[in-house]
Homo-oligomer: A and B are copies of this chain.
Amino acid sequence: MSERKPRKDAARNRAAVLAAADELFARRTSPEDEVTMADIAAAAGVGKGTLFRAFGDRTGLIHALYEARVEPIRNAVEEGPPPLGPATPPLQRLPALLDAILCFKLDNRHLALALEGTGSDSPYQAGHYDRWHALLQAVLEQIPGLTDSDFTAHVLLAATRADLVEHLVGQRRLPPEGLRAQLASFTTKVLGSPALPGSPAEQIHS
């Protein structure tokens, strides 16, 4: 049971598609024109068939893109140094995690929007959500005096949803740093501890 190695052209095309799609999602200035599959195929210089064979469907492609983008953060979270890494004390790690997630959505608004806008009750279908949720829940559980870690994790994630971020930063012109600060302050409120007035910690924020 193993992966048969893909043919050279297949690999090249897959990479080209990822690059083109990434480009298209990133370049998108505000307006409301969708990134279409045909667009991506054209930009990558391949046929639509290739694109669907490589990724299955639109969701698959977006997941692949997303995966590539979050990988650095995942690494930092799973084996990196504090404040994101596992060695960080929970009370400090939780705000750091949320800030990292928020920064990611700020940096990849259109991609995150596309990811969360897939299907009808996404983003809760995507495996990514379950991972983040499990992580947050685990961290919350290590904090004494907190209850409902499951629901709390859901709400904290809901506070970073792409469309909310887009609404606040894109439409209502709230500066990103302001949003980060508000999320941080909200988080400390939820954690129940008296807010320590430090800034939300340096993040990757490529």
Q: Which A residues lie at the B interface, using CB under 8 A? A: 32, 34, 113, 117, 120-124, 147-148, 151-152, 154-155, 158-159, 161, 163-164, 166-168, 170-171, 179, 182-183, 185-186, 189-190, 192
Starting from the known contacts A124-B166, A124-B167, 8 additional A-B residue pairs (CB-CB under 8 Å) come to A32-B120, A121-B171, A151-B183, A155-B159, A155-B186, A158-B161, A158-B164, A161-B161
The dominant DSSP class at the A interface is: helix
- Number of chain copies forming the complex: 2
Least CB distance, A30 to chain B, in whole angstroms: 11
Would A189 and B190 count as touching, CB distance under 8 A?
yes
Bound: A153/B183 CA distance, A: 12
In angstroms, Cα B179 to Cα A182, docked, is: 26
Q: Cβ of B113 and Cβ of A167 under 8 Å apart?
A: no
A4 to B154, CA, bound (A): 48
CB closest chain-B residue, reference A148: B182
